[in-house]
Amino acid sequence: MTLRLLLPLLAILVLAAACSGGRSGTGGRDASTDEATTAPTATDAPRSEIPTEDAPARVSTPIEGGTFVRVWADPPTLDPHLTTDATSAVIIVEVFGGLVTISPDLQIVPDLATWDVTPDGTVYTFRIREDAKFHDGKPVTALDVKWSMERAADPATASPVVDQYLGDIVGVKEKLEGEAAEISGVRVLDQQTLEITIDAAKSYFLAKLTYPTAFVLDRENVESSRRWFREPNGTGPFRLTEYTPGERMILTKNELYHLGPPMLERVRFILSGGTSMLMYENDEIHIAGVGLADLDRVLDPSNPLNTELHRAPPRFSTDYIGMNVTEPPFDDPKVRQALNYAIDKELIASEIMAGLVVPANGILPRDFPAYNAGLAGYEYNPEKARQLLKESKYGDDMEQFPRIILTTAGSFGSSVDLDMEVILEMWKQNLGIEVLVQQTEFATYLQDLNKRRFQMFQIGWIADYPDPENFLDILFHSESSNNHTGFSNDEADRLLELARVEPDQAARYELYRQAEEVIMAEAPWVPLWYSGEQYVLLKPSVKNYHLSQLIIPLLRYVELTE
């Protein structure tokens, strides 16, 4: 397709962008909500205080207490052992906690426990802090940790990701398969001491324990009711004190928090919807992401909002279209490659997305460990795309071509993202392929995604911890439960398995780069976007809000000033 043919479509979509609230989030740890892609998360590596080049210095006095207000969406789940999405995780990391956590400067640091590890890197001894307590004041013990991990690995819990995040622990697989009542690699030495044995030395093991699947729950609380998560007895910096689905959620300061109680008295999440920019300008909320429709005016130095504008670091995420390689026509790699070559991502990023996203050339996001800046990816080449399609076993006869359905998260009748509209048109014009779109409510979408029910799907992946294993191994190893595309390649598996146990970091990262090249050549994804420069409005009264590239506990640092 030539640029000339695309120009009328661009004109229509740019006008639509000016009338909308900007790009809606699609991201995966799996994320949804507009705010999850800009202000609220962290998807979705933290910085200290919010960076800004333009805002003048302000003299203000921190006050203890106050309520921080933001727009959010109903979380698909509040059970840490079941969550796979960013919308839920942003709440869960504030209410619950685990043995370790990630600090605002992206370091793995103690949460409920400190630790030692044996010289061979396979046995970790965790010592529970004496001041670690649940929200009701009950001390956290090593037994609580063991029970929580075994609850996560219990087949009855049906955690969709426990094998990925706890599967390195000896005995987890046997517990998952119903062959053992306990996890043999988790031993309670005394009330405050726990020993965990893993199957091989793995440098990313501690980082995995920062994911909610490893969080500690109160057994009595969980067994009290099937809806225990509405009144959870967590260990995090905030307590969940009110939740009315579709209306609001209130988190209240945990005065007993072992790492120091938050400065805020409470956090109120508005779940009833609304236009965040309008609500921000009406002083109803403290934070708002800036979309395409408002970007130009808030970037204008003469606009009063400009002094409240902050640049957020690009998040560690990759938006993509996944293809189930076990289903026609995606069982032919030439079809998958053709769809990649048929998209002009540079044009879409600049003309449709106003530079707020960066075309993705691979799987690992920019500046992420092992990121390969030299990876060529699939540059726009419609002639090559047509040739590949013709060479595929399906050919380019659209009369006989298998029907393609792309599933996205969203309510029935809601509009498709602007970039997707252009992509669909490019496939139609360049290849003659018309793709049907169906939308599914987000919680249901995640369930079906984990069961590999989609032929083609649009989502994104947000790093849980800063290690390439979190993208490449979890999403593409043939035996991974998070392998939503059904991708299987012996060479990729071999490289990923070598990387798991490689002690030298440089050599390990090189193995991941090689694995990424193998995966990209097979094209189970159409990589779309890396996060570009994000813009956030934040009220002058808010201090120490860390704009982060990962989802980590952030709200305990926030202060409101007079």
Nearest alpha carbon to residue 404 among 435, 441, 358, 360: 435
Scanning 134-215, the segments in alpha helix (DSSP H) are: 142-152, 162-165, 172-176, 205-208
pLDDT band for position 5 (cuts 50, 70, 90): very low
Boundaries of every domain in the chain: 31-78+236-313+535-561, 97-229, 315-531
Query: Among 303-317, 407-421, 509-523, which is the least confidently predicted range?
Result: 407-421
Residue 28, pLDDT score: 38
Q: Are 484 and 452 in contact (CB under 8 A)?
A: yes
Sheet holding 123-128, edge to edge: 113-117, 123-128, 193-197, 186-190
Report the Cα 90 to chain-centroid distance in Å.
10
Hey, how many other C-beta atoms are within 10 angstroms of the C-beta on 275?
Answer: 16
pLDDT band for position 342 (cuts 50, 70, 90): very high
Token couple for 229:
């998560």
What lies within 8 Å, CB to CB, of 61 at 6+ separation is: 561, 562
Please state, in angstroms and as integers, the Cα–Cα distance from residue 420 to each residue in 24, 227, 423, 425, 539, following that order: 11, 38, 5, 8, 33
Mean pLDDT of 379-383: 98
Return d(Cα 71, Cα 63) in angstroms, integer.
Answer: 23
Q: Are 549 and 321 in contact (CB under 8 A)?
A: no
Tell me the per-residue pLDDT of 220-250, one tens digit each, with 9 for 90 and over.
Answer: 999 999 999 999 999 999 999 999 999 999 9
Residue 354, pLDDT score: 81
For residue 383, how many C-alpha atoms fall within 13 Å in the half-sphere facing its CB? Answer: 1
Supply the mean pLDDT for the chain.
89
Report pTM. Answer: 0.85
CB burial string 120-129: b at 16+ within 10 A, e below? eebbbbbbbb
pLDDT, greater one: 29 or 530: 530
Instruction: Establish whether the linkage from the previous residue to 139 is cis, with ω within 30° of 0.
Output: no
Strands 113-117 and 186-190: what pairing?
Answer: unpaired
Tell me the per-residue pLDDT of 442-479, one tens digit each, with 9 for 90 and over.
Answer: 889 999 999 999 999 999 999 999 999 999 999 999 99
Token couple for 401:
């071509």
Would you state the CATH architecture of domain 315-531?
Roll (3.10)
Tell me the per-residue pLDDT of 85-142, one tens digit each, with 9 for 90 and over.
Answer: 999 999 999 999 999 999 999 999 999 999 999 999 999 999 999 999 999 999 999 9
* Phi/psi of residue 63, nearest 5 degrees: -125, 145
Instruction: For Cα atoms 323, 325, 326, give the angle at the middle one, nearest 5 degrees.
Output: 130
With 80 as the cut, is the pLDDT of residue 38 above it? no
With 50 as the cut, is the pLDDT of residue 417 above it? yes
Residue 63, pLDDT score: 64
What lies within 8 Å, CB to CB, of 7 at 6+ separation is: none
With 90 as the cut, is the pLDDT of residue 542 above it? yes
pLDDT band for position 61 (cuts 50, 70, 90): low
Residue 356, pLDDT score: 82
Mean pLDDT of 326-336: 98
Yes or no: is domain 97-229 CATH 3.90.76.10?
yes
Residue 281, pLDDT score: 97
CATH of the structural domain 31-78+236-313+535-561, one choice from 3.40.640.10, 3.40.50.2020, 3.30.43.10, 3.40.190.10 = 3.40.190.10
Token couple for 239:
């307590």
Q: Are 288 and 39 in contact (CB under 8 A)?
A: yes
Residue 443, pLDDT score: 87
Residue 48, pLDDT score: 26
Return d(Cα 56, Cα 288) in angstroms, integer.
Answer: 20
What is the signed CA dihedral for 421, 422, 427, 432, rounded to 10 degrees?
80
Q: Are 486 and 326 in contact (CB under 8 A)?
A: yes
Scanning 432-503, the segments in alpha helix (DSSP H) are: 442-450, 469-476, 490-501
